[in-house]
Structure 1
Amino acid sequence: MMASYRWLWLVALVLLGWLVYALQPILSPFLIGVLLAYLGDPLVDRLERYKLSRTWGVVVVFAIISLLLVLMLLVLLPMLGKQMVRLYEMAPQMLDWLQLQALPWIQLKLGLSEGFWRFDQLKAAFSGQLGKTTDIVGLVLSKATSSGLALLAWLANLLLIPVVSFYLMRDWDLLMARVRALLPRSREGLVVKLSGECHEVLGAFLRGQLLVMLALGLMYSTGLMLVGLELGLLIGILAGLASIVPYLGVVVGVGAAMTAGLFQFGLEPFPLLAIAAVFTVGQLLEGMLLTPLLVGDRIGLHPVAVIFAIMAGGQLFGFTGVLLALPVAAVIMVLLRHAHDFYKLSDLYGESKGDSAEPPNPE
């Protein structure tokens, strides 16, 4: 009987994977809606403690999210747009700087051969790609406008996200209670325990690490703009987004900021030291304040597991796989931890009596 149940679960898992693969073109708005509902549910629960109804709590949370999005559209996007245009204008100058100053200096210090970099070929290829940028944009726009049905479907999916997240957020506790009521009575305790651990892992990463990511992006952007770096906002936000994987943000940020700083300021020590100080202060605040306060001592996902999960999900299921990567990785991590505990308690891990006996004395 147990074997038949295991086969049934295996068939259900395979069927679920096939459905995700077959329905991935329409799953994205629903998965984003589930993610927003999951992130917003604790805020709604907290508002309910202040005697606010569930529906009005969801309305308040949606109003806050909408206000933040409007502020981002009105303030952040125009500034980012200007810096993107500035980066596009600076790209040929940066290529010339690399060719005439940076790479010859590295070549001299390392004793490399004259034609080691083959920079003329790299510059020609890169310039060709830059020249095609406007053509690519025009091609995308022409495709979007030529297919009105596809454009309408994209807009419908975009509008579907707040609708799905609103209803899921409003009924989240009810849905969780109904799912729990469907669990087999003999396995309810185990499933609830595993679900709680998955929630701890996923919540620690999503809620905690996302807040750390936003705080670091704000600190990096503000600091780099105060230093006077032209691309400070763009690099700061990029470093903040990369911080979704711990320590990756500071590596990306320092590399990009130092490169931009060398191009803009040359070898002047003060601006370069100021750039290094911005990321040093950010890392100190993250380690001593942000991570203990926002993430706590809960076990999150290992950085390597995050990178692998996102890449594997994208490879297997595209954007839908990217959205599913972290929840699936959290579940797998919890199951592997319990499998490790069961293995340590099993006879396979423990020594048998014959193996544990004292070896005979050769004398």
Structure 2
Amino acid sequence: MALPVRQQLKYWIIAAVVFFVALWWLGGVIMPFLLGGAVAYFLDPVADRIERLGASRGLATAIITLCAVCIFALLALLVLPTLINQAIQLFDTAPKLFQDLQSFLTQHFPQMQDQDSTMRKSLIAVGETIQSKGGEFLNTALASVGTLLNMVVLFVIVPVVAFYLLYDWDNMVAEIDSLLPRDHAPTIRHLARDIDKTLAGFIRGMGSVCLILGTYYALALMLVGLQFGLVVGAVAGLITFIPYVGAVVGGSLAIGLALFQFWGDWLSIGLVAGIFVIGQMVEGNFLTPKLVGSSVGLHPVWLIFALSAFGSLFGFVGMLAAVPLAAAIGVVARFMVARYRQSSLYKGTSLTPPTSVSDPE
């Protein structure tokens, strides 16, 4: 005897509540597993394509792992040392940059010399806050044994988890499919395919966009001669998946550094600004439409809201899970709206379509 729909809905709500409570309670413990699952999900189509060429699943996973190790080793030898050195130099020169900013404002805004000036007091307060809190936070983060252990755990556990999940991905999907409630299995499969299409299109498309733009920003800023150009480009590319945030943050940071480094050389400053203008034009008119497409179904406002909401509720782990959860919620919401439009609640009981009421003349 099948369970009533209301009873089934109650069990599904309980399962959803348990899932979110577990996500909040486990916190950082499940972060390596979420990252490993994301890597396996990202690489599963590559493994499937290698399998179609005649290789076994184990051989396909081994080939992907070997390629990943080679790429990581290449990055570790060529890019990471420069990136780390520039990041350390940026932290070391931050106080000097702030002093230069203070001198610049004092020179061009004489009212800054007034001891009672509101702008001067605000700038001094900001500087003291950065010096006390920022340095304290950085020292604590670098000296924390827990932070170091977490980094080690990430670099060790994430590849292992990704390897085993990638190897058993098809078996896990088949096992989950066998556990679906039989009455609703076709509907759940349909929703899962839509979620996979939305999520795959967004993650793989935006991942490619972030990689292309990050490489472009880093190389272009380094060619212009901007100090810390590699760090700025990496940061701008990394957060490009948040609409406009990558360009605004990266552009503001790059132009701010360019003002101190190239003050008076307006051509170099203009080149730095032009790099981000060109990047935004290429992203908006070519990269995002071609690689992500308009049918993904993740509206920028919905994505920003999901990142903010899940980040506030569950911290960094919530931000990692925000994109897949936003994709799933969006697909389910569209499915429910479509069902609502087909229901008698929307159409009513009348056999004739409703007519619009016109104003009396």
TM-score calculated relative to the size of structure 2: 0.86
The unaligned stretches of length 5 or more in structure 1 are: 146-150
Give yes or no for contact 1:246–1:303 (8 Å, CA) kept in 2: yes
Q: Alpha carbons of 1:144 and 1:244: their partners in 2 closer, same or farther (altered >3 Å)?
A: closer
Alignment of 1:70-149 (within 5 A): 70-102=73-105, 105=108, 114-118=117-121, 119-129=123-133, 131-132=135-136, 135-136=139-140, 139-141=143-145
Paired with 2:255 and 2:228, the residues of 1 have a C-alpha distance of: 11
C-alpha displacement at 1:321, in angstroms?
2.2
C-alpha displacement at 1:350, in angstroms?
4.8
> 1:52 aligned to 55, 65, 70, which one?
55
Corresponding residue for 1:338?
335
Alignment of 1:305-344 (within 5 A): 305-344=302-341
C-alpha displacement at 1:335, in angstroms?
1.2
Whether 1:263 aligns to 2:254 is: no
Deviations 1:175-230 (A, max 9, x none): 21222233233322211111111111111111110111011000001011111101
Paired with 2:287 and 2:212, the residues of 1 have a C-alpha distance of: 8
Aligned to 1:186, the other structure's residue is in SS state coil
Corresponding residue for 1:4?
7
Q: Alpha carbons of 1:343 and 1:91: their partners in 2 closer, same or farther (altered >3 Å)?
A: same
Give yes or no for contact 2:57–2:167 (8 Å, CA) kept in 1: yes
> 1:67 aligned to 67, 70, 90, which one?
70
Give yes or no for contact 2:240–2:246 (8 Å, CA) kept in 1: yes
Paired with 1:46 and 1:9, the residues of 2 have a C-alpha distance of: 35
Give yes or no for contact 2:340–2:346 (8 Å, CA) kept in 1: yes
Give yes or no for contact 2:297–2:330 (8 Å, CA) kept in 1: no
The unaligned stretches of length 5 or more in structure 2 are: none
Whether 1:36 aligns to 2:39 is: yes
Letter in 2 for 1:274: L
Counting matched residue pairs gives 351
C-alpha displacement at 1:106, in angstroms?
6.6
Aligned to 1:185, the other structure's residue is in SS state coil
Give yes or no for contact 1:200–1:298 (8 Å, CA) kept in 2: no
Paired with 1:310 and 1:267, the residues of 2 have a C-alpha distance of: 40
Paired with 2:127 and 2:304, the residues of 1 have a C-alpha distance of: 31
Corresponding residue for 1:168?
165
TM-score calculated relative to the size of structure 1: 0.86
Mean Cα displacement is larger for which, 124-133 or 240-249? 124-133
Q: Alpha carbons of 1:137 and 1:163: their partners in 2 closer, same or farther (altered >3 Å)?
A: closer
Paired with 1:228 and 1:238, the residues of 2 have a C-alpha distance of: 17
Paired with 1:3 and 1:293, the residues of 2 have a C-alpha distance of: 43
